[in-house]
């Protein structure tokens, strides 16, 4: 049986975009001045201005990927892939307060490794539903891989 397509796809897309972008709200409550500015960072640390545009694009791609999966029968038909998406979203949202807010690159490193694992599972799960949905998460997984290595390097340079 082919799952029915949920109604109001444009409103749903807007909802997925709002949800995805909401993961960045933790950044509103932390500052990269002071503590972070004083850390030893590798020479390949990206400039601060790059993070906003990269994350905005990644959040939009995440939203479209989730929306494409959701369109294949909604929550009833796609419970597992969408639940994985929400878990990785939560882990994504937690990293910034752990690293920047609590000044704990060690805990943030453990957390981002968990994010990476759940995100990889989400990507595979999305790929099985709609290949393009999985492909939309590839840049996100690549960025999280880079961010995890950067987190590790900062932790090592400052421990």
What share of the chain has pLDDT > 90, as a percent? 84
Chain centroid, CA 19 distance in Å: 11
Q: pLDDT band at 7, cuts 50/70/90?
A: low
CATH number at 147 reads: 1.20.1260.100
Least confident of 22-31, 33-42, 82-91, 134-143: 22-31
Residue 3 has pLDDT above 70, yes or no: no
**Does some domain include residue 144?**
yes
**Does some domain include residue 4?**
no
Classify residue 15 by burial, with Cβ atoms within 10 Å: 0-12, 13-18, 19+: middle
**Does some domain include residue 83?**
yes
**Does some domain include residue 153?**
yes
**Does some domain include residue 30?**
yes
Quick: pLDDT tens for 17-72: 999 999 988 777 776 678 898 999 999 999 989 999 999 999 999 999 999 999 99
**Does some domain include residue 3?**
no
- Residue 141's domain comprises 9-157
**Does some domain include residue 2?**
no
Global confidence as pTM: 0.90
**Does some domain include residue 52?**
yes
Tally of domains within the chain: 1
């Amino acid at each position: 049986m082919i799952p029915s397509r949920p109604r109001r796809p444009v409103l749903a897309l807007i909802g997925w975009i709002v949800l995805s972008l909401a993961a960045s709200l933790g950044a509103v409550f932390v500052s990269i001045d002071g503590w972070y500015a004083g850390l030893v960072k590798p020479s390949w640390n990206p400039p601060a201005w790059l993070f906003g545009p990269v994350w905005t694009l990644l959040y939009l791609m995440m939203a479209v990927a989730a929306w494409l999966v959701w369109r294949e029968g909604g929550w009833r038909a796609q419970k597992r892939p969408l639940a994985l998406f929400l878990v990785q979203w939560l882990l994504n949202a937690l990293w910034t307060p752990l690293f920047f807010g609590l000044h704990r690159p060690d805990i943030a490193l453990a957390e981002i490794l968990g994010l990476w694992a759940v995100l990889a599972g989400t990507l595979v799960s999305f790929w099985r539903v709609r290949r393009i949905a999985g492909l939309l998460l590839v840049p996100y997984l690549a960025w999280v891989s880079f961010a995890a290595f950067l987190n590790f390097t900062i932790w090592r340079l400052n421990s």
